[in-house]
Amino acid sequence: MTCPVCSGPMKSAFEAQVLGKYLARYEVCAGCGFLRAHEPHWLDEAYSQAIAVADTGLLKRNFSLAAKVAGALYWALDERGQGPYLDVAGGFGILTRLLRDMGFNFFWADKYCANLLAQGFEYRSELGACHAVTAMEVLEHLTDPLAFINDALLNSGAQTLLFSTELYEGSPPDPAAWWYYSLGTGQHIGFFQRRTLEVLGRRLGLHLTSANGLHVLSKAVVSERRLALATGRLASLWGPRWIGRQLGSKTMSDHNALLRGLA
């Protein structure tokens, strides 16, 4: 029982029922706070569909995250849309499409899910190194988050990762009281504290900045104050429309490009 984040020892935390039938044991690292399901043998069953049927918050979450990512890129990271950028583990392509609609040159990749909404904008190495990579609601699905982040940055040539995952503080939350365990779907198997993310960053030579549920690991130091302002409630309300006017939405240019490809 060695922690995949800091290589420290892990100890048993609690047991809980997953998928309504499997008794799962969870263990936690005293060193960095990483909490995980021990040997999650049910994953093939949990991923019989890449996106869980019970994920009713999928669209709402993507709209919210798109606004935060756009604000973070434009105001906190001084990115002006040319990219390229990559949404890794991009699911149905919702986030890629929304960010392209705001003017960011985003591309999609996912080994396990069909690209429904960003077809024609799959990432390929000929596009060159990415300015940044996003991984929204991904890390909690992984057995080895360190390897995932390292591979995502290495394969894209990026030096910045923007990602989301719910954090916990103190002792592991009661499984009856924290919805983020997602015990009914069985897809969430790893959970983080802020210090866990800080350790991940140090091991990869990256700086952590975190605000309003959006986390950034980057070679460059990102201002936490700027990130908080760029991803706050007011910025998220008016930011996407303003940024879209500044950058120029790709909605119609993508439409025309796809029509030319079909002709």
pLDDT, tens digit, 9 for 90 and up, residues 129-178: 999 999 999 999 999 999 999 999 999 999 999 999 999 999 999 999 99
Share of the chain above pLDDT 70, in %: 99
3-class SS letters over the chain: CECCCCCCEEEEEEEEEECCCEEEEEEEECCCCCEEECCCCCHHHHCCCCCCCCCCCHHHHHHHHHHHHHHHHHHHCCCCCCCCEEEECCCCCHHHHHHHHCCCCEEEECCCCCCCCCCCCECCHHHCCCCEEEEECCHHHCCCHHHHHHHHHHHHCCCEEEEECCECCCCCCCCCCCHHHCCCCCCCCEEECHHHHHHHHHHHCCEEEEECCEEEEECCCCCHHHHHHHCCHHHHHHHHHHHHHHHCCCHHHHHHHHHHHHC
Q: State the CATH class of domain 54-165+193-262.
A: alpha beta
Across 191-216, b (16+ Cβ under 10 Å) vs e yields bbbebbbbbbbeeeebebbbbbebbb
33 neighbors 172 (Cβ within 8 angstroms):
no
What pTM was estimated for this model as a whole? 0.96
The pLDDT assigned to 53 comes to 85
Query: What is the pLDDT of the chain when averaged over all its residues?
Result: 96
The pLDDT assigned to 50 comes to 83
Cα angle, residue 92 at apex, residues 123 and 211 outer, rounded to 5°: 80
Checking if the pLDDT of 263 tops 70, the result is no
Q: Which bin fits 49, alpha (ψ -120 to 50), beta or left (φ > 0)? A: beta
Tens of pLDDT along 214-239? Answer: 999 999 999 999 999 999 999 999 99
Paired tokens of 215: 């986390």
Q: Identify the band that residue 43 occupies on the pLDDT scale cut at 50, 70 and 90.
A: very high
Q: Work out the average pLDDT over 28-37.
A: 97
The pLDDT assigned to 113 comes to 95
